[in-house]
Amino acid sequence: MGMKTTQTTGCAAVHVIGGGLAGSEAAWQLARRGVPVILCEMRPVRSTAAHRGGGLAELVCSNSFRSDDAEANAVGLLHEEMRRAGSLILSAADATRVPAGSALAVDREAFSARVEAALAAEPLVTIRRGEVAGLPPPEWDSVIIATGPLTAPPFAEAMRALTGEDALAFFDAIAPVVYRDSIDFAKAWYQSRYDKGGGRDYINCPLSREQYEAFIAVLLSAEAMEFKDWEKDTPYFEGCLPIEVMAVRGPETLAHGPMKPVGLTNPHAPDRRPYAVVQLRQDNALGTLYNIVGFQTKLRHGEQVRVFRMIPGLEEAEFARLGGLHRNTFVNSPSLLDATLRLKARPALRLAGQITGCEGYVESAAIGLLAGRFAAAARHGSAPVPPPAGGRPLARSSATTPAAPRPKPSSR
Ligand SMILES: Cc1cc2nc3c(=O)[nH]c(=O)nc-3n(C[C@H](O)[C@H](O)[C@H](O)COP(=O)(O)OP(=O)(O)OC[C@H]3O[C@@H](n4cnc5c(N)ncnc54)[C@H](O)[C@@H]3O)c2cc1C
């Protein structure tokens, strides 16, 4: 893959490695500023442990970009900042939105297709399918590395050798998705917590105290996937603990966490408050798929079906996808990157997305937006201006704050 020039701007192409949330956004920002881009995405030639298809900007787990409330919520404010900054990810999310109360949730297939169509239609963007298996060649003089938490192992190893540091890592998990038609609405009902948002955004399954206790007992005895030796010291991401790990912390943990019954009234028994409630959130625009909120898990697949069918309303549930657990890789950005996300050891390489130590779809795309703008400014010979540290959310990235402590994954 050589350098590409265009007659439009005459400047050489920037290479973006990884067409996920960050890489797609970075490519878009570059092209919008007249800079040609070669976007290298390894899927579908080679996949990761969590991606399922070949589409750009595939959402690997939840279909939610979290709160869209720009007045009261930091992520909502970040959405608004990104919209105003011309974000492709936010415009695609807005166009493929599904009902989810005050959250911005999307139809994942339509969202990915829209991002890919926008980039494919952009004359300055060339999409190349294939793995970048080692450090980029020296003639790639401006590269954005956006290979994500599931960076292909040969590339991760090359980065480790270049930076001289072991990559940091933690475990993250995926929640199962259920076909709506297999849910028993003689027991379940539609309602958003505290009736925020539309009436059909969430499906609720009630548990009595006895049902809850029986569920916890079976959950605790169910068989989980085993860790490999090299995985054993890797911590979990606290904001996304597997449900069975939460249950080990105490029998009431789930009743006060993802299974809390507050803000909901069961129309099948309005006078009886459930002891716990399992919520499922709409996962596609057609409303045929719902994911079990907070039920990320590393139970074996057969065990998931057995345990989750104990939930009233899910006795006959058919699963479109089962949960899973994956190791995430990221680097120690405050010591390795400069203020415009360049690797100090090799400034032709910029990092973007979750590999910088941020966590979440929105944050990853936001760092991609910054990296794309930094690289475009450099191509045009102007000094990139990093956002000030502190203050507004988009500016508050541990990745770009040199004095920040060693990064840990933050909440999503
Ligand atoms: C299992 C799991 C579940 C998650 N769940 C959520 C969630 O529910 N909500 C949330 O907000 N965040 C979630 N995250 C966190 C994170 O926000 C997402 O992973 C997000 O997609 C990160 O964006 P990214 O652009 O950095 O990486 P990605 O979106 O993963 O994009 C990286 C891209 O690089 C490609 N690639 C990798 N290596 C190479 C290579 N060598 N050559 C070419 N291409 C390569 C990959 O195929 C991929 O398309 C989850 C992460 C994981 C791992």
- CB 146 near ligand 1, within 6 Å: yes
Of ligand 1's listed atoms, the one at least distance from the Cα of 130 is: 43
DSSP state of 287: S
Query: How high is the pLDDT of residue 166?
Result: 62
Ligand 1 centroid–CA 208 distance in Å is: 38
Which pLDDT band holds residue 61 (cuts at 50, 70, 90)? confident
For the chain, list the domains and their CATH numbers. 14-167+331-400 (3.50.50.60), 173-326 (2.40.30.260)
| CA nearest to 169, candidates 149, 153, 145, 196 | 149
Count of residues for the chain?
A: 412
Q: Is 160 exposed, middle or buried (0-12, 13-18, 19+ CB in 10 A)?
A: middle
Ligand 1 centroid from CA 23, angstroms: 10
- Alpha-carbon torsion (110, 112, 115, 121), positive or negative: negative
Range in 130-134, 330-334, 397-401 with the lowest mean pLDDT: 397-401
End-to-end C-alpha distance for the chain, whole angstroms: 36
Residue 288 exposure: Cα atoms within 13 Å on the Cβ side:
4
d(CA 340, CA 36): 20
Cis peptide upstream of residue 206 (ω within 30 degrees of 0): no
With a 6 Å cutoff on the Cβ, whether 18 touches ligand 1 is yes
Tell how far the Cα of 115 is from the centroid of ligand 1, in angstroms. 15
- Whether the predicted pLDDT of 260 surpasses 50: yes
Q: Contact, 375 vs 12, CB < 8 A? A: no
Mapped onto helix, strand or coil, the DSSP state of residue 28 is helix
Closest residue by Cα to residue 144 from 234, 55, 30, 231: 30
Pocket perturbation via mutation, ligand 1, pick of 361, 363, 367, 408 by most ligand atoms within 8 A of CB? 361
Q: Mean pLDDT score of the chain, rounded to an integer?
A: 88
What pLDDT score does 230 carry? 52
| Backbone phi and psi for residue 196, each to the nearest 5 degrees, phi listed first | -80, 135
Does ligand 1 lie within 6 Å of residue 261's CB atom?
no
Instruction: Please report where in the chains the tokens 């609405």 appear, as a residue.
Output: 185
- pTM for this prediction: 0.74
**Alpha carbon of 149 to ligand 1 centroid (Å):** 5
